[in-house]
């Protein structure tokens, strides 16, 4: 295509705000061509271009832009469009963008991801496996200590719908550092003109983003909280973990402990879909142990062969004795 000629036509459409004409002109453009066009436009015109192209080309075009333009666009585009783009992006390209963001902007974008994509994003952002970083949600309610109770309640009414829980409200400073957490009941009972700082007692309890899952279970048990804030090593609030997530986690941990006590290692995927070598790795150790145990049983029976011959009725108890020892392979849950 004669790019420069068509570019001048696009510029004319942008200046006259002819969005329908722009949409028609860009219908046959490839994402690579649209991203090249965007690089020559200012931010305002880039927004118009993204609003005129379909969903499939929007995220591909976005991926072709450099990180600097992407950072500007995620702040300028409507949240609905940003959400579609981020959820459609490849995980590695999205991670490259998220790694460049400040904590406040990162949390904002994490809220726009679906639960599935958020889990993927958190895992790729470098949080260790089995850490609280993999479990936390960025959907929580924050206020400033200088606000009045009236301002807090208005803020909750306007923004509370997207929060995971409203039982606890978190107080942060301008940079996002966690200062305190206060139960919603205290706000509801306090005078409307009272300051948030007057309710603070500094007795916050938080988790580090790198804390192990077992640490979270122990802290929830000790402090009887419905939710706990999660911070980085500097104290910046990154997300929260709720009691329902931890109860599910505790159930999983208890199940694994019981399975280990019973000599069972549960499969993490359907039996018929498990690779052969992985299945052998899980079953072989127990089968070898059972084989050695059976050898000892056979040796013991051979040693007492004459006694068994004199009282044949004892042979009737052999299956019962063997069964009482258990067989992890037989007791494995489906």
Query: Please, which residues bridge with residue 183 across strands?
Result: 168
Share of the chain above pLDDT 70, in %: 81
Q: Which two tokens stand for residue 188?
A: 């509801």
The confidence score (pLDDT) of residue 279 equals: 67
What number is the average pLDDT over the span 208-219? 88
Q: What does the pLDDT look like over 138-185, one tens digit per residue?
A: 888 999 999 999 999 999 999 888 788 899 999 999 989 999 999 999
Q: How far apart are CA 104 and CA 83, in angstroms?
A: 16
Binned at pLDDT 50, 70 and 90, residue 289 comes out as confident
What number is the average pLDDT over the span 262-282? 60
Task: Encode 56-84: b = buried (16+ Cβ within 10 Å), e = exposed.
Answer: ebbbbbbbbbeeebbbebbeebeeebbbb
Q: What does the pLDDT look like over 226-261, one tens digit per residue?
A: 899 999 889 999 889 888 877 776 676 655 555 555
Binned at pLDDT 50, 70 and 90, residue 84 comes out as very high
Residue 243 · residue 220 · CB < 8 Å: yes
Q: Which two tokens stand for residue 233?
A: 């090593």
Share of the chain above pLDDT 90, in %: 34
CA distances for 283 relative to 193, 217, 294, angstroms: 66, 31, 16
Question: DSSP letter at 240?
Answer: E
pTM of the model: 0.57
Average pLDDT over the chain reads: 82
Exposed, middle or buried by CB within 10 Å (0-12, 13-18, 19+), for 204? Answer: middle
């Amino acid at each position: 295509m004669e790019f420069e000629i068509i570019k001048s036509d696009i510029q004319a459409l942008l200046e006259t705000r002819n969005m329908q004409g722009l949409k028609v002109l860009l219908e046959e453009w490839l994402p690579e061509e649209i991203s090249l066009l965007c690089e020559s436009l200012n931010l305002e015109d880039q927004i118009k271009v993204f609003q005129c192209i379909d969903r499939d080309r929007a995220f591909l075009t976005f991926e072709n832009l450099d990180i600097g333009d992407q950072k500007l666009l995620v702040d300028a585009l409507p949240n609905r469009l940003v959400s579609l783009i981020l959820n459609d992006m490849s995980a590695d390209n999205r991670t490259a963008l998220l790694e460049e963001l400040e904590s406040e902007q990162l949390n904002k974008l994490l809220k726009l991801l679906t639960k599935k994509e958020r889990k993927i994003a958190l895992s790729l952002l470098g949080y260790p496996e089995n850490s609280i970083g993999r479990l936390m949600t960025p959907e929580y309610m924050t206020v400033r200590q200088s606000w009045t109770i009236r301002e807090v309640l208005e803020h909750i009414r306007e923004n509370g719908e997207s929060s995971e829980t409203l039982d606890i409200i978190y107080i942060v400073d301008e940079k996002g550092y966690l200062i305190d957490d206060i139960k919603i009941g205290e706000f509801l009972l306090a005078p409307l003109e009272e300051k948030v700082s007057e309710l603070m007692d500094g007795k916050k309890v938080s988790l580090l983003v790198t804390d192990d899952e077992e640490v979270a279970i122990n802290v929830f048990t000790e402090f009887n909280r419905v939710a706990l804030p999660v911070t980085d090593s500097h104290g910046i609030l990154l997300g929260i973990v709720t009691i329902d997530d931890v109860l599910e986690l505790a159930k999983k941990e208890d199940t694994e402990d019981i399975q280990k006590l019973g000599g069972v290692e549960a499969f993490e995927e359907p039996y018929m879909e498990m690779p052969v070598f992985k299945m052998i790795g899980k079953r072989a150790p127990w089968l070898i142990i059972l084989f050695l145990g059976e050898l000892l049983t056979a040796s013991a029976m051979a040693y007492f062969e004459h006694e068994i011959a004199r009282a044949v009725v004892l042979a009737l108890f052999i299956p019962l004795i063997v069964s009482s020892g258990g067989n992890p392979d037989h007791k494995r849950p489906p």
